[in-house]
């Protein structure tokens, strides 16, 4: 439905963004879709560009996700 908060890895070899579909949020990194959540924020790559990290809301809880 919508895509926001896009970012490239420090070496520009990887790309990730937050997508919204049917009221659920997910991260798409290099074409691979994450689990869906009730909210996602603060998407960033690690300094070496190997991982992404973001805050996800699942019900009433917030969790930190590192792929």
Asked if residues 7 and 45 have their Cβ atoms less than 8 Å apart, the reply is: yes
How far is 52 from 33, CA to CA, in rounded Å?
Answer: 13
State the CB neighbour count (10 A cutoff) for residue 5.
16
How far is 10 from 60, CA to CA, in rounded Å?
Answer: 33
Nearest in space to 65 (alpha carbons), one of 2, 18, 15, 3: 18
Asked if residues 14 and 45 have their Cβ atoms less than 8 Å apart, the reply is: yes
Q: For the whole model, what pTM was predicted? A: 0.85
pLDDT in tens, 5-53: 789 999 999 999 999 999 999 999 999 999 999 999 999 999 999 899 9
């Amino acid at each position: 439905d919508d895509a926001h908060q896009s970012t490239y890895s420090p070496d520009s070899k990887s790309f990730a963004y937050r997508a919204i579909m049917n009221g659920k949020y997910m991260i798409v990194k290099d074409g691979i879709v994450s689990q869906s959540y009730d909210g996602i924020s603060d998407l960033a790559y690690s300094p070496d560009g190997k991982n992404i990290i973001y805050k996800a809301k699942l019900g009433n809880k917030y969790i930190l996700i590192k792929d």
